[in-house]
Structure formats: C-alpha cells, structure tokens
Amino acid sequence: MEDEVLLKQVITKAQSWLTKDYDEETRKQVQALLDKEDKTDLIESFYKDLEFGTGGLRGIMGAGTNRMNRYTVGAATQGLANYLKKEFSALPQIKVVIGHDCRNNSRKFAEVAAAIFSANGIKAYLFPDLRPTPEVSYAIRKLGCQSGIILTASHNPKEYNGYKAYWDDGAQVVAPHDRNIIAEVNQITAVSEIKFKGNPKLIEILGKEIDQLFIDDLLSITLSPDAIKRNSDIKIVYTPIHGTGGQLIPQALEKMGFTNIIHVPEQDVVSGDFPTVVSPNPEEPAALKMAIDKAMETGADLVMASDPDADRVGAAIRDDQGNFVLVNGNQTLLIYFHYLISRRKELGRIQGNEYIVKTIVSSELIKSIAKKNRVELYDCYTGFKWIATVIRENEGKKQYIGGGEESYGFLAEDFVRDKDAVSGCMLLAEIAAWAKDNGKTLYRLLQDIYVDYGFSKEKGISVVKYGKTGAEEIEAMMKSYREHPISEIAGSKVILIKDFVKLTAQDLIEDEVFTLDMPTTSNVLQYFTEDNTKVSIRPSGTEPKIKFYIEVQSNVDSAEALPLAEAEAEKKIEAVRAALGI
C-alpha cells in the first residue's frame, strides 16, 4: 500500500513536468520515464527534491526533482538570489562569482545560473572556462562578492553533477544561511517563478588576471624558496585526471621554479566522461596508475593527481627500493603539518599563537605533532566549511598554519576558504625539495615522522546503499549502533564513546558523561579503545554510503621497526573489520 501511494505521488509530480513550462528535451525524458514498465527510475527521479547537503546540491544528472538539471539548478539559484537580496539589501550592487569544472553540463548549468542571478539584478562574474574550486573561493574574497557558486560533483562518477554555494568570506554556506537558502528554494513552487532570462549587462567574463593574482598569492606562502632553487630539477609527474587542475597547477609549479613537470597527455584531455579512469577519485589507486606508469618510464621522483575540481590531491612517492607507494590522505596530512611546523620553527616564525585544524575522523597522530610542538589543534566536523569556520573565528587573533581532512583535502593559505589542490601540489613539491636538501626522500621523511610521533595506520571503508531503500538502511544502521553501543572491538575494551548527534561523550573508565563543544550536531559516532584503536562511523553527506574510519596506533623506536608495526596494524584492522561485520 505504501509503495502504491508513493508511486501515485511520483506520477503526479512527474506529469507536472510535461507542461510547456519545461523545455522539449526535458518533457521527452520525463515521458520516457513514465512510459517505462519498470518505474524504478521514475521513482528515483521524483520521490524527493534535491536538497542542500554539506555544501549545496549533488545528484545524478537527468530530468526530475531529484536530479541535477536546469530546473533544479534554476530553483537553487533563484532561492539563493532571493536570499542574497534580503541579506544584502543595503548594498547598491550585490555580486557573485560563478565557476565550473569539466563535467558534462557544468558549463550549461553555470550559464543558466549566471542568467538567473543577472535577471535578479545581481552582478555575476563568470569564469571563461573550467577553473579549480579554490579559485572560486579566492575570487569571492578578492572581488568583494557576497556569494559564489561552482558547478561540480568533485570526484563522484561521471553521471553526477553538483552545485556548491559560498558566502562572502569565500567559505561554503553554513547555518543559518544554508537553512535559509533551502527555505527560499522551497518557496518556489512553479517554474514561472525562476527568472531564466538574463541581463547580459550584469554578466562579466573574468580574464586571466584573476588566475595570475591567485598564483602570485600562493607563491607568497612558500617557506623554502632556496631549497626549490637548489632542487628545481626534481622530476614531478602531474595529472589533472581530465579536470580543472590542468588549468593552473603545472603553471603554478613552473612559476615556483620547478623545471621538470611531466604530463600524462591522455589525462590532460578535458572530459566529463573521464575516459581513462573508472573513477576520477585520487583516493582510488587505479586513478593514479597511468601517472605512476609515466613516472616509472621517466624516472620521476613524485607523482601528484588532482580530482576533477582540483580541491584534493592524491600522491605517490618512491620507497627505499625505488618502487612507488601511494600516500593516503592521513599520511599527506602528517607530511604537511610536520613540514609547516618544523620549517616555521627553523625560520623563527613560531610565536605561540599558531594553530592547525583537522577533522574528527582524521588521524589522532596529528594531535601528537601539535602537542609536541606546542601548536594549538582544533578538531572539527568533516567538511571543509567547518575548517573555514575555525579560520573565520580566529581571524586577526591567531595565526593559521594549515588545515586538512583525511579525504585528501588540505588548505595551506587563509586567503582561500576551501580545500585547495593548487596550493596542495605546490606545497608537496616544496616539501620534496626541502627533504632532498636535507638528504631525505619524502618516504624517509614520513618514516621519521612515525618514529618521532608514533605509528598509525588507517583504513576507510564505505558501504554503499543506493536510492531510497539505501538511505533507509543507512538510517537503520546508525539507529542500531546507538541503541546497542559497542563495548569491545577486536578484543580491546571501549573506554570512550562520542555521539555527535547528542553532543555527549561517555567516559567508560570514570563512568562520566560530558558535553562535546561543537557548533552543531552531526550524525557521527566514535569509539576509542584501551589499545588506542579509534573507530568513527558516519553516513556520507554527499554520497549514498555509510563510512567507517578505522585507526590503530603503536610506538616504534626506529625505521627498521616499521615493517613489523605495519604488519601488526594490518592484522588489527582486519580484526576490527571482522568485529564490526564490514
């Protein structure tokens, strides 16, 4: 009965998209969905409306209220425009920046958004072509805009697109703005309320000048220019994986002084179909295979890859035997933080008011680095808008060193307020030069970090659950974990449970409950055990999956002890997986 009611609601909703308010192509797509005997695709396309998640819209492209198309993008843009006009009514001219990545329909959606903003009397700065997400954040601040958007689905499969909204500080929208924008979007009940006919006078195409300003500002944060000069010939293979990074990253590395940037020609081709990879995700080993092959062929020292919107970096480095090993997101964070703090100390630039930021699911080893070097550490939720919030709250009071998350995102500068693969690649190349200046490889540098601060190994496991039934399964899993708390994991007693929905932590040793100091609630559970194992569980805010983050730790007294520590950690992680049933 419930399914029959849902199907009737969906059919009624779909039929409303057959009117002349919608273009012919959309009407044909909807009619085809209605005509199919199997109604699964129809239901998935219309059973709900796309909503702003951790930073905007994200969904599969196609016709329907639960799909990315000119009408869902149009409603989101109209809602955002309505809200901007209320929030900044005193300004003579409201301004926004619009960017897009390489994905199919991204340029079309960007132009639709520009037309809608301009039709609402809002000046729209539109990039002439695809550009990295962090450059949009930069341009919002540089041009004094009140908002901005980028059309991107980050590293999702090619069927997806997305819409990320930013506020006047260059950060993704947070409360109350995100809720208020959703409220404005929900008030749009007819396509006729969306102003699609733009005002060309209020649309300005940005020139190359903003690219150069961005790169020049990134160059200003370099800490080791002399080391780069002495090691300018380091061979670096870089791939944008068909995305926006190719627009700026090679040129930024060359302006730094690196003279041996090696391309992967097949992946320099801009394409929303991502023809050389199954997934354009630098977290996936397969996404870096062609770049590693090129590095082996050319004798390169370092491999770097950015995702389609160039806000995340994946890397591979040579081990002591000359083989390439992938560096995961947590390891990259360790390298970044260690370098930024160590190098600042060498330069006498640690004054006592510095801080770093990580997300709660990132490695606990970062706490050891911060503590040992007397640098303040902030722990925040997953999603770079929370790191940006910490930066905003500390602006003018404390010195930001860097912030990052285990999912390959890092931000080394505070004049951008989203993760940045442009500066991330520049920084990693700089660290390679600095390490070489000190007689080390990046691999040896990472080993030294483990000896100095402790060894940790992490494993991220995603359980994918598609569609409406999948969302219900994920909800049921989180409910079960809360109603039946885990007391032991792989033979080690749980001593601390953090529930970020309730904003409480339960200390099982002292039998105490205390409040978690966080800006809002989040659907995350964390378990800490006697043997320093940490397990975090959370549904993804942007993808149909529930994520498990496992971290195990141990101490090593030399690099020679690391292989055994690695083997023991692998066994422990497998035991944890078995205990969790994943």
What order of strands is seen across the sheet that includes strand 56-60?
56-60, 160-166, 147-151, 95-100, 123-126, 203-205
Could you tell me where the DSSP H helices lie in 61-198? 70-87, 106-119, 133-142, 177-186
Residue 121's SS3 state is coil
Handedness of CA 100, 139, 51, 463 (dihedral sign): positive
Residue type, 229: K
Q: Are strands 95-100 and 504-507 parallel, antiparallel or unpaired?
A: unpaired
Is the backbone peptide bond immediately before 157 cis, with ω within 30 degrees of 0?
no
Phi/psi of residue 400, nearest 5 degrees: -75, 130
Side chain identity, residue 162: G
> Catalytic residues, which ones?
154
Cα–Cα–Cα angle for 153, 157, 159, rounded to 5 degrees: 85
Q: Cα–Cα distance between 230 and 327 in angstroms, integer?
A: 25
Give CA–CA dist 222/178, Å, rounded: 35
- For 522-538, the three-class secondary structure string (H helix, E strand, C coil) is CCCEEEEECCCCEEEEE
Phi first, then psi, for residue 34 (nearest 5°) are -65, -35
Residue in this structure with the two tokens 């009140």, named with its chain if needed? 146
Alpha helices, DSSP H only, in 187-313?
Answer: 209-219, 225-230, 245-256, 265-268, 289-298
> For residues 554 and 571, what is the distance between their CA atoms, to the nearest angstrom?
13
Secondary structure of residue 292 in the 3-state scheme: helix
Task: Evaluate whether 113 touches 78 at the Cβ level (below 8 Å).
Answer: no
What's the CA dihedral at 397, 401, 406, 409 to 10 degrees? Answer: 100
Contact 94, 146 (CB under 8 A): yes
DSSP string, 164-178: EEE-TTSSBP-TTHH
Half-sphere exposure of 416 (CA within 13 A, CB side): 28
H or E segment to which residue 387 belongs = helix 384-394
17, two tokens: 């998209």
Q: Please state whether beta strands 354-359 and 399-405 pair in parallel, antiparallel, or not at all (unpaired).
A: parallel
Cα four-point dihedral sign 146, 151, 156, 159: positive
Asked if residue 530 lies in contact with residue 493, where contact means CB atoms within 8 angstroms, the answer is yes
CA distance 565 to 450: 10
Sign for the pseudo-dihedral over CA of 494, 566, 291, 138: positive
Identify which of 234, 254, 241, 244 has the alpha carbon closest to the alpha carbon of residue 291: 241
The packing angle between helices 562-580 and 442-453, to 10°, is 70
Number of Cβ within 10 Å of residue 505's Cβ equals: 17
